[in-house]
C-alpha cells in the first residue's frame, strides 16, 4: 500500500510508525483528540496576536502586521544529530570570524589564491572603512544564525551562514513558551533541552566583547530602525528579555568620543551596541549619507576602539552567496580541518561554463542573487512558469556575476497539523550561535521554518512560511 | 531611562485618557441632545469645542448633526483626537516603549487596540452608541488597571501619571471653559430648568453627577459645582486633584534623579495659585480668566516637562 515517499520525513517512517526521535511524541499524539488540538491551535494564534508577535511586510500598508503561522507539531532532533550539527556550526563560525579578520588585514587567503581577489575587492559588502580595524576582542560575528537543511538520515547541508544580522530568535523562544503553555505534560514526559537561557547568554556574550575603554559593568543596548521595521517585535522582545535599552539612531550621539544615549537624566555612554541596522545605514557620515537610522560618527568612535558594534561592520561580505561557494576551502584554510557540515553544490554564474550549464538547466535549479536574503529575487526552477524562466534567463545573461545557482534539494519534511491530519511539509533549521573571546555558545534548538503549502520549498516568513518549535532531546 | 521612552509612556497614557474623555463627552452630549429643552446643534458644537477639534470639523461638515459629530469624534482618522486616532497612537507609543511596560500592560493595550479598531470599523448607529462608549471606557480602564497592578513605582510610572493627570486637567478645564457662563452666579435664570440640564451635562461629562449629589445633597448651585470641579481634593478629575498628582509625580522624579528642573518651579507656581484661591476669590477675579490661565499654565508645564526630561532630541 505504501508508495515510496519522494522526501525524507523526519517523523513518519515509510512503514507505519515514527523515527526514533519521535517515538515518545508519537505515542502522546496518538492519544490526542484532534478537536482539542485544533482548539489549542486557535488558542496559540490568539496568544500570538495578543502578545503582538507580529512582523511587518514591506510594500504593504505600514500598519499591516502579520502573524507568522505557528504549527504545533514540534520539529524533533536527536541528541546525536545535534552534537554533529553544533560541532559543524562552531567550526564554521570560527572559520568565518578568521576569514573576516584576514580579509580586512593581511589577506592571506587571497594571496594563497583560494578566494579570488575580485570577489572581495569588487564586493559592495566589503567595507574599506574596516581595513586594518580590529574589533574589540577580535570578534566580528557575535551572533550567527546558520541555515541548515536536511535531505536524509545523515545528510545535513548549510544553505546560508547568516553572519550579518540573523533574525528569528524571538520565535525560537516564543514558540517554546507557547508549547510549554499548551502542552505542559509533554515536557514532563519527554526531556527536551531548554532554550530559555538565550537572552541571558546573549547579554553575557555581548558584555564579554566590551571595548577596552569600558571600565566597570558594560552598558549594552540594541539599535533598531524603529517600529516599522519588519523585525521590530524581535528587537523589543530581546531588549526586554535582556534588560537593556532599545535605542534608535535619534536617541544616540557622539559625546566625548563615545556613543551615548539620551536619557531622562542626560547622556549615558553605551559600550556594546547590538545593532539591527544594516552597515549601509549605520553612519551617514561614513556610509549612506541619507540614512536617518544610524548615528553620525559612530564609525569614528568604533575605529577609536570606544564601542563594540555587533555584528562588526563589514561582516555582511561573508553572507555573499558567491563567497559561500568557497566556504569548504575557507574552513580548511583557517581550521586545518575538513568541513563537518556540507555545502550545497553551487554554480557561480560569473564563470562562463557554469553560466551555460545554469541556463541550460534552469528549470531544475534554484537561482539566487549573491547579495539577496529573505527569499526575495530568487527563482525556484521546478516551480516557475515558462515565462518566469525566460525572464529570469534574461536577467542572468545581463548580470551573470549577480547570481549563483544550486540544485533543487530534496528537503526533508516534518508533518504539520492540517485539517485532514498530519501532512508532510518541507522545513529548514536555523540554530543561533553566540561568539565572544570566551568562546562559542550554541543554543540547543533553533528556528524551524516550514513551507505551509504542499510541495513548496520556500520557507521564508515573507513568502508565506510558518514556524515550529524545535526540540533537541536530552541524551 | 531613555528620554524617548519617558515621552512614549507619557503620550501613551495621555492618549488613552483622551479617548476615554472623548467617549464621556459624547455620552453627555448625546444625552442632552435627547432632551427637548435644548438646541442639539449648539450642544454638539460645544462638545466639539471642548474636544478642541472644531476647526477640523468645520472644515469637513457644515452642520452639527449628531451622526456626523459622533463619527468625527469616534472614527475619523483625519481627526487626531478621535478615539481611533488616540488608540492607534497609544498603541504605537506602547510598541515603542514596550521594554518599559509589563506584559500585562502591553497585552491590555494591544487587546484594546485590536477590539476597538474592530468595533469602530463601521459607523456607529445610535442604538449601538451606548454599548460602544462603554466598551471604550472599559478598555481604557483595563489598561489603567494593569498599570496600577503590575508596574513598578519608578520613573516610568511617574511619567504615566503625569500624562494622565495633564490630559485630565486639561479636559476638565476645557469643559468649564466652554460652559463657564452657566456657572456664573450672575446668570439671570439661576435655577431654571435649562440651567439644571446644563449643570447636569457638565457633571456627566466628568462622570461626577452621582458623586456630586452624594456630597452636596441639597445645594446644586453653580458655585458649588465650580468649586467641586476646580478645588475639590477628593474628586479625581478636579483641577486641584490633577495638579497635585502632577506635582507629586514630579517630586518623585526629582528625588529619584537627584535634580530639580525648571518644570518643578512651574508646577509649584501653579499649586501655590490653587492653594491661595477659594471659589469666592476665583469668581471675584473672574472664572473665565482663571480657567484660561490654568489651561495656558498646564500647556506650558507639559512643554517644560518634555524639554527637561529630553522626550525628543
Q: Which of B97, B116, B151 is the last residue of a domain?
A: B151
- Do B236 and B124 fall into the same domain? no
- Do A352 and A468 fall into the same domain? no
Residue A55 pLDDT greater than 70, yes or no: no
Q: Which domain holds residue A358?
A: 345-407
| Residue A12 belongs to some domain of the structure | no
pLDDT tens across B136-172, in order?
999 999 999 999 999 999 999 999 999 999 999 999 9
pLDDT tens across A451-470, in order?
998 888 878 777 778 999 99
- Do B187 and B118 fall into the same domain? no
How many structural domains is chain A composed of? 2
Q: Which of B101, B124, B151 is the last residue of a domain?
A: B151
Quick one: pLDDT at residue B186?
63
| Residue A211 belongs to some domain of the structure | yes
Closest CA to B6 of B155, B170, B166: B155
Q: Which of A389, A407, A425 is the last residue of a domain?
A: A407
- Do B68 and B166 fall into the same domain? no
- What value does the mean pLDDT of chain A take? 92
Among A190-199, B5-14, B217-226, name the one with the lowest average pLDDT: B217-226
Residue A53 pLDDT greater than 80, yes or no: no
| Residue A147 belongs to some domain of the structure | yes
Q: Which of A361, A389, A407 is the last residue of a domain?
A: A407
pLDDT tens across A394-414, in order?
999 999 989 999 998 889 999
- Do A353 and A211 fall into the same domain? no
- Do A298 and A158 fall into the same domain? yes
Closest CA to B168 of B185, B144, B201: B144
Residue A62's pLDDT band, with cuts at 50, 70 and 90, is very low
Q: Which of B128, B151, B174 is the last residue of a domain?
A: B151
> In B, which residues are within 8 Å of A246 by CB distance?
98-99
CB B176 within 8 A of CB B225: no
> In A, which residues are within 8 Å of B95 by CB distance?
52, 227, 232, 236
- Do B99 and B157 fall into the same domain? no
> In B, which residues are within 8 Å of A296 by CB distance?
none
| Residue A4 belongs to some domain of the structure | no
8 Å CB contact of A227 and B92: yes
- Do B212 and B180 fall into the same domain? yes
- Do B184 and B268 fall into the same domain? yes
CB B144 within 8 A of CB A83: no
Quick one: pLDDT at residue A2?
45
- Do A243 and A356 fall into the same domain? no
Quick one: pLDDT at residue A132?
96
Q: Which domain holds residue B6?
A: 1-151
- Do A152 and A187 fall into the same domain? yes
Quick one: pLDDT at residue A48?
84
- Do A265 and A334 fall into the same domain? yes
Among A42-46, B146-150, B255-259, B266-270, name the one with the lowest average pLDDT: A42-46
Quick one: pLDDT at residue B193?
60
Rounded distance between C-alpha atoms, residue A331 and residue A98, angstroms = 9
8 Å CB contact of B2 and A262: yes
8 Å CB contact of A264 and B110: no
Three-class SS string for B153-178? CCHHHHHHHHHHHHHHHHHHHHHHHH
Determine the residue among A47, A50, A52, A228 to mutate to test chain B binding: the one whose Cβ has the most chain B Cβ atoms within 10 Å.
Answer: A52
- Do A213 and A362 fall into the same domain? no
Residue A61 pLDDT greater than 70, yes or no: no
- Do B29 and B41 fall into the same domain? yes
Residue A303's pLDDT band, with cuts at 50, 70 and 90, is very high
Residue A277 pLDDT greater than 70, yes or no: yes
CB B60 within 8 A of CB B72: yes
Rounded distance between C-alpha atoms, residue B92 and residue A458, angstroms = 32
Residue A144 pLDDT greater than 80, yes or no: yes
- Do B313 and B166 fall into the same domain? yes
- Specify the 3-state DSSP secondary structure of B130: helix
- Specify the 3-state DSSP secondary structure of B65: coil
Pairing of strands A432-436, A258-263: unpaired
Rounded distance between C-alpha atoms, residue A394 and residue A376, angstroms = 17
The answer for A 206-235 residues in CB contact with B (under 8 A) is 227, 232
Quick one: pLDDT at residue A1?
40
- Do A69 and A105 fall into the same domain? yes
Query: Could you identify the residue written with the cell 562588526?
Result: A312
pLDDT tens across B107-139, in order?
999 999 999 999 999 999 989 999 999 999 999
pLDDT tens across B187-233, in order?
545 556 666 777 888 888 898 888 888 888 777 788 889 999 999 99
Closest CA to B199 of B7, B50, B28, B1: B28
- Do A204 and A278 fall into the same domain? yes
Residue A44 pLDDT greater than 70, yes or no: yes
CB A463 within 8 A of CB A456: no
- Specify the 3-state DSSP secondary structure of A134: coil
Distances (CA, A) of A407 to A360, A389, B136, B307: 13, 15, 56, 59
- Do B99 and B205 fall into the same domain? no
Determine the residue among B1, B2, B106 to mutate to test chain A binding: the one whose Cβ has the most chain A Cβ atoms within 10 Å.
Answer: B2
Quick one: pLDDT at residue A463?
73
pLDDT tens across A313-331, in order?
999 999 999 999 999 999 9
- Do A399 and A414 fall into the same domain? no
Q: For the whole model, what pTM was predicted?
A: 0.90
- Residue A286, phi-psi category: left (phi > 0), alpha (psi -120 to 50), beta (remainder): alpha
- Do B55 and B77 fall into the same domain? yes
The CATH number that applies at residue A363 is: 3.30.1490.270
- Do A310 and A423 fall into the same domain? yes
CB A276 within 8 A of CB A222: yes
The crossing angle, in degrees rounded to 10, of helices B239-257 and B155-183 is 160
Determine the residue among B12, B85, B99 to mutate to test chain A binding: the one whose Cβ has the most chain A Cβ atoms within 10 Å.
Answer: B99
Region A289-304: mean pLDDT is 91
How many structural domains is chain B composed of? 2
Query: Could you identify the residue written with the cell 478629575?
Result: B237
- Do B97 and B191 fall into the same domain? no
8 Å CB contact of B110 and A262: no
From B2, B155, B253, residue closest to A251, measured CB to CB: B2
- What value does the mean pLDDT of chain B take? 92
Residue B180 pLDDT greater than 90, yes or no: no
| Residue A11 belongs to some domain of the structure | no
Rounded distance between C-alpha atoms, residue A446 and residue A466, angstroms = 14
* The three three-digit cell numbers of residue B109, written as one number: 493595550
Rounded distance between C-alpha atoms, residue A413 and residue A79, angstroms = 19
Give the chain A residue nearest B100 (alpha carbons). A240
From A51, A247, A262, residue closest to B107, measured CB to CB: A51
- Do B245 and B161 fall into the same domain? yes
Closest CA to A311 of A125, A165, A116: A165
Q: Which of A392, A407, A422 is the last residue of a domain?
A: A407
- Do A254 and A116 fall into the same domain? yes
Quick one: pLDDT at residue A165?
87
CB A270 within 8 A of CB A306: no
Amino acid at each position: 500500500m505504501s508508495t515510496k515517499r519522494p522526501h525524507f520525513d523526519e517523523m513518519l517512517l515509510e512503514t507505519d510508525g515514527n523515527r526514533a526521535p519521535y517515538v515518545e511524541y508519537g505515542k502522546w499524539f496518538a492519544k490526542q483528540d484532534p478537536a482539542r488540538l485544533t482548539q489549542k491551535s486557535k488558542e496559540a494564534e490568539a496568544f500570538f496576536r495578543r502578545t503582538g508577535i507580529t512582523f511587518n511586510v514591506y510594500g504593504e500598508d505600514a500598519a499591516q502586521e502579520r502573524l507568522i503561522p505557528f504549527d504545533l507539531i514540534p520539529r524533533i532532533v536527536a541528541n546525536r544529530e545535534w552534537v554533529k550539527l553544533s560541532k559543524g556550526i562552531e567550526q564554521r563560525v570560527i572559520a568565518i570570524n578568521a576569514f573576516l579578520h584576514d580579509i580586512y588585514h593581511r589577506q592571506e587567503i587571497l594571496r594563497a589564491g583560494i578566494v579570488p581577489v575580485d570577489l572581495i575587492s569588487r564586493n559592495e559588502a566589503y567595507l574599506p572603512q574596516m581595513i586594518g580595524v580590529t574589533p574589540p576582542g577580535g570578534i566580528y560575528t557575535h551572533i550567527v544564525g546558520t541555515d541548515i537543511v536536511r535531505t536524509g538520515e545523515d545528510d545535513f547541508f548549510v544553505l546560508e551562514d547568516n553572519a550579518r544580522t540573523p533574525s528569528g530568535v524571538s520565535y525560537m523562544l516564543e514558540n517554546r513558551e507557547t508549547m510549554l503553555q499548551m502542552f505542559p505534560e509533554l515536557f514532563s514526559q519527554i526531556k527536551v533541552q531548554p532554550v530559555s537561557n538565550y537572552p541571558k547568554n546573549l547579554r553575557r556574550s555581548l558584555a564579554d566583547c566590551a571595548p577596552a575603554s569600558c571600565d566597570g559593568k558594560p552598558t549594552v543596548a540594541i539599535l533598531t530602525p524603529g517600529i516599522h521595521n519588519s523585525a521590530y517585535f524581535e528587537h523589543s522582545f530581546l531588549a526586554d528579555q535582556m534588560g537593556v535599552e532599545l535605542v534608535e539612531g535619534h536617541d544616540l550621539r557622539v559625546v566625548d568620543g563615545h556613543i551615548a544615549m539620551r536619557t531622562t537624566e542626560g547622556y549615558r555612554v553605551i559600550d556594546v551596541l547590538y545593532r539591527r541596522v544594516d552597515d549601509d545605514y549605520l553612519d551617514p557620515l561614513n556610509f549612506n549619507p541619507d540614512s536617518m537610522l544610524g548615528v553620525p560618527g559612530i564609525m569614528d568612535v568604533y575605529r577609536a576602539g570606544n564601542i563594540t558594534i555587533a555584528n562588526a561592520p563589514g561582516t555582511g561580505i561573508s553572507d555573499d552567496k558567491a563567497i559561500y561557494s568557497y566556504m569548504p576551502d575557507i574552513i580548511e584554510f583557517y581550521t586545518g580541518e575538513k568541513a563537518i557540515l556540507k555545502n550545497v553544490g553551487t554554480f557561480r554564474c560569473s564563470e562562463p561554463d557554469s553560466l551555460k550549464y545554469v541556463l541550460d538547466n534552469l528549470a531544475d535549479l534554484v537561482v539566487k542573487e549573491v547579495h539577496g536574503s529573505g527569499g526575495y529575487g530568487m527563482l525556484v526552477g521546478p516551480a516557475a512558469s515558462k515565462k518566469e524562466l525566460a525572464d529570469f534567463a534574461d536577467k542572468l545573461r545581463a548580470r551573470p556575476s549577480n547570481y549563483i545557482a544550486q540544485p533543487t534539494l530534496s528537503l526533508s519534511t516534518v508533518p504539520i497539523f492540517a485539517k485532514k491530519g498530519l501532512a508532510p511539509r518541507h522545513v529548514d533549521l536555523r540554530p543561533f550561535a553566540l561568539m565572544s573571546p570566551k568562546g562559542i555558545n550554541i543554543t540547543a534548538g533553533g528556528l524551524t521554518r516550514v513551507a505551509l503549502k504542499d510541495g513548496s520549498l520556500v520557507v521564508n516568513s515573507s513568502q508565506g512560511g510558518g514556524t515550529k518549535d524545535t526540540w533537541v532531546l536530552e541524551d | 531611562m531613555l528620554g524617548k521612552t519617558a515621552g512614549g509612556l507619557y503620550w501613551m497614557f495621555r492618549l488613552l485618557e483622551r479617548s476615554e474623555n472623548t467617549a464621556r463627552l459624547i455620552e453627555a452630549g448625546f444625552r442632552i441632545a435627547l432632551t427637548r429643552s435644548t438646541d442639539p446643534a449648539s450642544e454638539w458644537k460645544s462638545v466639539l469645542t471642548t474636544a478642541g477639534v472644531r476647526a477640523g470639523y468645520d472644515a469637513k461638515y457644515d452642520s452639527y448633526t449628531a451622526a456626523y459629530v459622533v463619527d468625527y469624534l469616534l472614527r475619523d482618522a483625519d481627526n487626531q483626537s478621535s478615539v481611533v486616532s488616540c488608540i492607534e497612537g497609544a498603541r504605537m507609543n506602547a510598541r515603542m516603549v514596550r521594554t518599559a511596560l509589563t506584559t500585562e500592560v502591553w497585552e491590555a493595550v494591544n487587546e484594546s487596540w485590536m477590539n476597538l479598531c474592530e468595533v469602530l470599523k463601521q459607523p456607529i448607529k445610535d442604538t449601538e452608541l451606548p454599548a460602544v462608549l462603554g466598551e471604550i471606557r472599559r478598555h481604557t480602564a483595563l489598561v489603567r488597571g494593569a498599570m496600577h497592578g503590575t508596574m513598578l513605582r519608578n520613573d516610568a510610572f511617574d511619567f504615566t501619571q503625569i500624562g494622565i493627570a495633564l490630559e485630565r486637567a486639561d479636559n476638565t478645564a476645557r469643559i468649564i471653559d466652554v460652559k463657564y457662563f452657566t456657572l456664573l452666579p450672575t446668570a439671570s435664570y439661576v435655577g431654571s430648568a435649562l440651567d439644571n440640564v446644563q449643570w447636569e451635562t457638565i457633571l456627566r461629562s466628568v462622570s461626577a453627577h452621582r458623586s456630586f449629589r452624594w456630597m452636596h445633597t441639597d445645594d446644586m448651585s453653580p458655585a458649588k459645582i465650580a468649586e467641586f470641579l476646580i478645588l475639590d481634593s477628593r474628586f479625581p478629575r478636579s483641577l486641584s486633584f490633577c495638579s497635585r498628582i502632577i506635582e507629586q509625580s514630579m517630586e518623585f522624579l526629582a528625588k529619584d534623579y537627584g535634580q530639580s528642573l525648571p518644570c518643578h518651579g512651574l508646577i509649584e507656581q501653579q499649586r501655590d495659585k490653587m492653594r491661595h484661591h477659594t471659589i469666592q476669590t476665583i469668581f471675584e477675579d473672574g472664572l473665565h480668566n482663571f480657567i484660561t490661565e490654568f489651561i495656558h499654565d498646564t500647556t506650558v508645564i507639559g512643554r517644560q516637562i518634555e524639554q527637561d526630561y529630553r522626550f525628543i532630541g
